[in-house]
Amino acid sequence: MNKSETLHYLDQHGIKYEIVVHQAVYNMAEMEKIALPHPEADAKNLFVRDDKKRNYYLLTIKGDKRVNLQQFREENGTRRLSFASPQDLKEKMDLEPGSVTPLGLLNDPEHKIPFYLDSYFSDQPRIAVHPNDNTATIWLKPQDLLKVIKDLGNPVRVVKM
């Protein structure tokens, strides 16, 4: 799903969100240069794969945090992890680099990619994500985001990162 299809999907499922359209951004440093509301809700999304390229994972963490993939591996029982390639991202979620988002799981045809959400967002009123395009940011309730992904059938875990 592209941006408009993603927003339509959220509308059809009664998911309320706030949206700001902006210039394309490709990383958190560029995102910080745009005056967006709710900076405490900024999320960073990492698409990673195991060393055999058999399993892929989407990790969403607070925007100013860093993830230790070795520690994540140990705590979540995965094989050795590294960042997935742009080709993997396109093939698995039909996204371009800079547009990684939990809503990309709408494009996961088998709904097999596990989603890991930083527990930081558990008690937050909103989370900021792209609507499958890096020229807009939407804010929605973390619980609504989790519901969308669970309803798709993707495995979902909320973990401390």
Each residue of 97-150: pLDDT tens digit? 889 999 999 999 999 999 999 999 999 999 999 999 999 999 999 999 999 999
In the chain, where the domains are located:
3-159
First to last CA, the chain: 28
Residues in the chain: 161
pLDDT, tens digit (0-9, with 9 covering 90-100), for 21-77: 998 887 777 777 887 889 899 999 999 999 999 999 999 999 899 999 999 999 999
Half-sphere exposure for 80 (CA within 13 Å, toward CB): 2
Q: Three-class SS of residue 79?
A: coil
Which residues, 6+ apart, have CB-to-CB distance to 111 below 8 Å? Answer: 105, 152, 153, 154
SS3 51: coil
Contact 92/111 with Cβ under 8 angstroms?
Answer: no
Architecture of domain 3-159: Alpha-Beta Complex (3.90)
